[in-house]
Amino acid sequence: MLNLAGYQEINQIYAGQRTLVYRAIQETPRQPVIVKVLRNPHPSFNELVQFRNQYTIASHLEHPAIVQCLSLETYTNGYSLVMADSGSIALSDYWPTQTHSLNEFLHIAIQLAEALQYLTQQRIIHKDIKPANILIHPETHLVKLIDFSISTLLPKEQQQLINPNILEGTLAYISPEQTGRMNRGIDYRTDFYSLGVTFFELLTRKLPFDTRDPMELVHCHLAKMPTVLGNKEEIPQVLSDIVMKLMAKNAEERYQSALGLKYDLEECLQQLETTGKITSFELGERDVCDRFMIPEKLYGRDKVVQTLLNSFELVVGGARELMLVAG
């Protein structure tokens, strides 16, 4: 039950492991709001920092596809985050309830590309793109990104090698570099990978890697590509190619700008609305990076890298391998 002065609870709309979310009415001024609070009555310092972080970042953002944060207030031993309530629901709840057309998917995808372009301009990495963190209005189909608790204002950061169960983000959606097992930095392109996983799930109604084992899931993000999407006859090949490009293991092989992605999605939508079908075209023609990036990709080492990956596959299957790497 929400016990926050100045707010009347309507109902609880989400109960997670770390947070509770309520619909409520703010008494002054009288308006509908969403109130998010920590579930732990005695939160740790790190939990408090993350919770405050989402307000610090989101409160300075002004974009129709970003949730509007109204205030951060003290609540018991922690905080409550008050956000504007537009009547939207989580995309993860909305999408599975009925059949959706490619047209509807593309309209949602274009809005998400616009949101990521805005975040890129603000030098923000979201780091937890997934359907549960995307709100959609059931009637207008306008979407909003939420939950900036682990977002960063740094242009690049390094993920340390830690237990998969305590990695930042959601394991089913995180990029290979977010696992901390690639020895490369995390930049804005990590969100493109997570967006690719989200697109895959929306198009197929399943995740690209069907496993609940944390280590196996990490291995899939690092070394496997999904195959189901390309086998779906109702999904045009070019749309499948866009998703696979987003989900490339190396960031250099993904889209380098959200504008480039948006252009390709808009081309798909234009073809669909004018001809009723989507034919293949060259992807990334307008995909130009807006900043100087030094690539972290290994060149001329494809054969030895593949040898390492093959050995990793054997070890995952229970075999024992000894690898000596020099240089």
**Which helix (H) or strand (E) covers residue 32, if one does?**
strand 31-38
Residue 98: predicted pLDDT: 87
Q: Is the pLDDT of residue 254 over 60?
A: yes
Torsion angles phi and psi, residue 264, rounded to 5: -65, -40
Other C-beta atoms closer than 10 Å to the C-beta of 39 total: 13
pLDDT confidence bin for 317, thresholds 50/70/90? confident
pLDDT confidence bin for 115, thresholds 50/70/90? very high
Cβ–Cβ under 8 Å, residues 208 and 197: yes
Residues in the chain: 327
Q: Is the pLDDT of residue 160 over 60?
A: no
pLDDT, average across residues 298-326: 84
Torsion angles phi and psi, residue 74, rounded to 5: -70, 135
Cα–Cα distances (Å) from 1 to 23, 35, 89, 137, in that order, read 11, 12, 20, 25
pLDDT confidence bin for 325, thresholds 50/70/90? confident
Integer Cα distance of 64 and 49 in angstroms: 26
The pLDDT tens digits for 203-233 are: 999 999 988 888 899 999 998 988 767 556 6
Cα–Cα distances (Å) from 288 to 254, 260, 292, 319, in that order, read 12, 7, 11, 44
Integer Cα distance of 283 and 261 in angstroms: 9
Strand partners, 23: 11, 34
Q: Name, in order, each residue with C-beta under 8 angstroms of 244's C-beta and a sequence gap of 6 or more.
A: 196, 225, 229, 230
Other C-beta atoms closer than 10 Å to the C-beta of 32 total: 13
pLDDT confidence bin for 181, thresholds 50/70/90? confident
Structure tokens at 249: 């293991």
Task: Provide the whole-model pTM.
Answer: 0.86
Q: Is the pLDDT of residue 307 over 80?
A: yes
The alpha carbon of 68 is separated from its chain's Cα centroid by a whole number of angstroms, namely 18
Residue 113: predicted pLDDT: 98
pLDDT confidence bin for 278, thresholds 50/70/90? very high
Which spans in the chain are helix H?
A: 45-58, 91-94, 102-121, 190-204, 214-223, 237-246, 258-275, 302-316
Residue type, 124: I
Among positive and negative, which fits the CA dihedral 301, 307, 308, 313? positive
Checking phi first, is residue 276 left (phi over 0); if not, alpha (psi -120 to 50) or beta?
left
Integer Cα distance of 71 and 26 in angstroms: 11
Q: Which residues of 131-149 are buried (b: 16+ CB within 10 A; e: fewer)?
A: bbbbbbeeeeeebbbbbbb
First to last CA, the chain: 60
pLDDT confidence bin for 304, thresholds 50/70/90? confident
pLDDT confidence bin for 306, thresholds 50/70/90? confident
